[in-house]
Amino acid sequence: MNQFFTKIVNGSRKEKLEKSLFFLLLLVLFKFLFPLVDNSILIIINDFLIYSTMGLAFIFFNETTISKSENPISLVLNVGILSTILFFITSLSSVIFDKIENIEDVNGFFYTVISLFISVTFIAFVVYILSALKTLYFLREKLVTENYFLLMLISLLLASFAGTLSKLNTDLTFIEKTFFVVSIVLIALNSFRVSWIAFLSKRQKIFLLFISIIMSGLFGFNFAMFSETNIIEQIVSNFSPGARVFYILIMLHGTIYFGIVFFTTLFHLPTAGAFDQKREEITSLIDLSKLMTQVLDFKELADSLTEATNNVCSSDSAWIVIKDSDDYELISVSNIGYLEADGISKSLLNEFELPQTDVLTLNRKLIKIKVQNDEKVYVFQSIIIAPLKVHNTISGYLFAAKRQKYKFDRDEIKAIGAFADYAALAIENAKLIKKSLEKERMENELEVARNIQSKLLPDENPSSEHLEVDALFVPAFEVGGDYYDYFKLSEDKLAFVIADVSGKGVSASYIMAEVKGIFEALAQVITNPKELLIKTNDILGGSLDKKSFVTAIYGVIDIKNGILNFARAGHMPLLICSEGELKEYLPKGIGLGLNFNKKFNSNIDNMEIKLNNNDIIILYTDGVTESQNVDNVDFGLEKLKSVIEENCNGELSNITKNIFKEVALFSKEKQQHDDLTLVLFKWKN
């Protein structure tokens, strides 16, 4: 039995409709077969069919009424329309038609059709009304009061059924009366469930006040008309005496319920405005917290805040200023001119020794400001200045002003304080988001710079019978601007360059790209290293900004004869390890970009060195010698020299590896902050 019920209740809307229509169809067939119900078995079947149809229809209607529970007024209107229709049918027909003198006489086909139509309509309406009342009953109810309603339903059914029984046997009338009275008591009890009224807006309450009294009256009339004999009452009563009782009880329920609704609404009306304001406050706070998580643009949020301030706190104007280093910037206005708000807030912020940490309320304030050379005077009944503060730092102020009559009350001041807190949080949020976006952008930029750099560096080291080449490049997280390259000038001549661009990141990588272009082009034209660097400096003069410079060593190795010719522009010294002994070569030369005239040209020299068998040339950038340990001590040239000297006789790649190992060990606890580049040549006879 229980399972059967849950199956019906949990079924889809369509299934519920199908089931109720099925029983309705059975009822119709039954009525055509037995237009006159005159023995007890038929009466029982008749009532069983009617109550089953009603029950199923009730379950079906619940779907509709519950879906309208968001809007109780429309539900009430539905009930109102139905009760009006019932009222018109009953009253008009009782005026037009006389009552039927002997109900047993009318049993023709026509009567059956009319009777079915009217009765089914009435029952359907009544069931819908009951369903609507049930939905209203459970609306906004916090306590578990389901049992009261169920009890009422059962009582209603029993009273109706007793109505049928008393028709069979007039001795049983007392049962009907008893249940009738019990039902009325339960109806009265249940009619006090009207807490949903409190949540209506003021306008809705006024509307409800009018329709509830009309509806209570209509239900009352419907009840009264059915208590007397008239044609409709006779038809329904003949259809099923129980249905008549049911109808009467529901009409009574409507009368009582809407009567109570009327009085409740009446008592709620005086506080409706205040209630509306509180609700507006809560809704706008909820809306704002939603906005906080969705809106990245602070200005947009600020606009919602000033608007909400005006709506909730009944201020005439509201605006927000944000602290911008020493000045205040006006970022949002609501219902006030931009210039006016700017002038007023500046005047107020000057007058009072802000920052205030609490909400400041000023009453009867006269403010003189200059707007476009005109002096204007503003009179405010009340102005509130609420600081926007996060972690005790004030990032701006929310202003709310009333021009006329009333001052702000305590709740309004509190609400303004709450809005100010929201604004403060939003500013903080916006700042954090901006920061993280900037960080992301920087990381993306660095990624670009690293890509550029890795593309600029040679893919492989050239090697030949007489010349072995090895290189090591370790990029820093922030691209450092190191660059090295080889240019094969002829079969016997290899040119090389090592350079370090000042600065870091994308800008350094662009200069690197330019430098590579210049060297690549000039290497094919100028063989003299000094001349080449002078020319490079000239070209860079047109593009390098004042703060940037490039250090470089450019050299040419005559592989066949073992002659190194090079020039230096401000770069680290060139080292040569010859027969276990390390020598430092430092011809004079200014960094590229430090000077673009004679001084550069006259202060640079070529240096020519005759290489011995197995001599090793070492080029490096300051990333190697300036690698620091935790105590900010540099790795230094001396240490570099000793590592090289120790490994001078081994494999070339061994030297590179050992230098890197030593540098890494030395600075293991510190982040590498500059690129690290090593280029080594070993000449063999």
Partner 1 sequence: MADFNVSSREDGEVSVVKVEGYLDAHTAPDLENEFNKMIERKRHKIVVNFSELNYISSAGLGVFMAYVETMREEDGDIKFSNLKDDVYSIFDLLGFPVLYEFYKDEEEAIKKFR
Q: Toward partner 1, which CB reaches closer, 254 or 589? A: 589
- Which residue blocks in 228-336 are alpha helix, DSSP H? 231-239, 241-294, 298-313
Closest distance to partner 1 from the beta carbon of 553 (Å): 12
- Give the shortest CB-570-to-partner 1 separation in angstroms: 4
- The answer to the question of residue 565 lying near partner 1 (CB under 8 A) is no
- As a whole number of angstroms, the distance between CA 332 and CA 400 comes to 12
Q: By rule CB under 8 A, what string of x and - marks binding of each residue 66-95 to partner 1?
A: ------------------------------
230 contacts 297 by C-beta, under 8 angstroms: no
> Under the criterion CB under 8 A, does residue 610 sit at the interface with partner 1?
no
Task: Determine the distance from the C-alpha atom of residue 306 to the mean position of all C-alpha atoms in its chain, rounded to a whole number.
Answer: 20
The binder of partner 1 chosen from 99, 407, 588, 661 (CB under 8 A):
588
H or E segment at 23?
helix 13-33
Rg (CA), the chain: 48
3-state secondary structure of 621: coil
Distance CA 591, CA 533 (A): 10
Decide if 589 contacts 568 (C-beta within 8 A).
yes
Please confirm whether the linkage preceding 355 is cis (ω < 30° from 0).
Answer: yes
The total of other beta-carbon atoms located within 10 Å of residue 468's CB is 19
Residue identified by tokens 């370790």 is 474
Question: Is 598 one of the binding residues for partner 1 (CB under 8 A)?
Answer: no
Task: Please calculate the CA angle 683-591-519 and round it to the nearest 5 degrees.
Answer: 55
* Candidate list 599, 610, 661, 670; residue touching partner 1; CB under 8 A: 599
The stretch near partner 1 (CB under 8 A) out of 203-211, 221-229, 345-353, 584-592 is 584-592
Q: Min. distance of Cβ 670 from partner 1 in angstroms?
A: 12
> Cβ of residue 590: shortest distance to partner 1, in angstroms?
3
- CB nearer to partner 1: pick between 560 and 599: 599
Task: Give the shortest CB-325-to-partner 1 separation in angstroms.
Answer: 15
Q: Interface with partner 1 includes 595 (CB under 8 A)?
A: yes
**Residue with tokens 């059915």, as numbered in its chain:** 226
Q: Binders of partner 1: how many residues, by CB under 8 A? A: 23
The token pair at 188 is 């009265």
Q: Per CB under 8 A, which of residues 484..513 are in contact with partner 1?
A: 502-504
Rounded to the nearest 10°, the torsion over CA 646, 651, 657, 660 is: 40
629 scored as a contact of partner 1 (CB under 8 A): no
Q: What is the DSSP letter of 108?
A: S
Which residue in 391, 405, 547, 668 binds partner 1 (CB under 8 A)? 547
Q: Interface with partner 1 includes 546 (CB under 8 A)?
A: yes
Least spacing, CB of residue 660 vs partner 1, in Å: 22
Helix-strand-coil split of the chain, %, nearest 5: 60, 20, 25
Q: CB of 631: closest distance to partner 1 in angstroms?
A: 11
Provide, rounded to whole angstroms, the least separation between the CB of residue 546 and partner 1. 4
Q: Does 133 bind partner 1 (CB under 8 A)?
A: no
Residue nearer to partner 1 on the CB measure, 292 or 594: 594
Nearer to partner 1, 116 or 569 (CB): 569
Q: From CA 404, how far away is CA 381, in angstroms rounded?
A: 6
Considering only the stretches 300-308, 411-419, 458-466, 571-579, report the one whose residues sit in contact with partner 1 under the rule CB under 8 A: 571-579
Which CB sits closer to partner 1, 345 or 509?
Answer: 509
Site for partner 1 contains 572 (CB under 8 A) = yes
573 and 584 Cβ atoms separated by less than 8 Å: yes
The rounded distance, in Å, linking the Cα atoms of 215 and 652 is 104
Question: Cβ closer to partner 1: 268 or 504?
Answer: 504
Q: Which residues pair with 394 in a beta bridge?
A: 389
- Nearer residue to partner 1 within complex by CB, 316 or 538: 538
Task: Figure out which of the listed residues 548, 647, 656, 672 binds partner 1, where binding follows CB under 8 A.
Answer: 548
Structure tokens at 20: 């109720």
DSSP reduced 3-state for 99: coil
Is residue 624 within the footprint of partner 1 (CB under 8 A)? no
Stretch that binds partner 1, among 43-51, 259-267, 593-601, 611-619 (CB under 8 A): 593-601
d(CA 118, CA 236): 8
d(CA 35, CA 115): 10
Contact between 591 and partner 1 by CB under 8 A: the answer reads yes
Q: Which amino acid is at 605?
A: D
Among 454, 603, 649, 654, binds partner 1 (CB under 8 A): 603
- 441 contributes a contact to partner 1 by CB under 8 A: no
In this chain, which stretch among 9-17, 250-258, 336-344, 546-554 interacts with partner 1, using CB under 8 A?
A: 546-554
* DSSP per-residue letters across 444-470: HHHHHHHHHHHHHS-SS----SSEEEE
Q: Using CA atoms, how far apart are residues 594 and 599, in angstroms rounded to an integer?
A: 10
- CB nearer to partner 1: pick between 497 and 590: 590
Classified as helix, coil or strand, 584 is strand
Smallest separation (angstroms) from partner 1 to the CB of 588: 7
Residue 486: both structure tokens together: 């080889």
Smaller CB separation from partner 1, 503 or 529: 503
Q: Is 583 in the site for partner 1 (CB under 8 A)?
A: no
Annotate 281-302 with b (16+ C-beta within 10 A) or e (fewer).
beebbeebeebbeebeebeebb
The only residue of 242, 475, 555, 570 in contact with partner 1, by rule CB under 8 A: 570
Q: Which one of 125, 128, 223, 549 is in contact with partner 1 (CB under 8 A)?
A: 549
Is residue 543 a contact residue for partner 1 (CB under 8 A)? no
Does position 632 interact with partner 1 (CB under 8 A)? The reply is yes
Instruction: Figure out which of the listed residues 166, 551, 606, 672 binds partner 1, where binding follows CB under 8 A.
Output: 551
Describe the crossing of helices 72-96 and 109-138 by its angle, rounded to 10 degrees. Answer: 150
Residue 250 or 498: the one with the smaller Cβ distance to partner 1 is 498
Contact 331, 410 (CB under 8 A): no
- Of 343, 529, 589, 623, which one interacts with partner 1 (CB under 8 A)? 589
254 or 503: CB nearest partner 1: 503
Q: Which of 344, 328, 303 is nearest to 397 (CA)?
A: 328
Which residues of the chain form contacts with partner 1 (CB under 8 A)? 502-504, 546-549, 551, 569-573, 586, 588-591, 594-595, 599, 603, 632
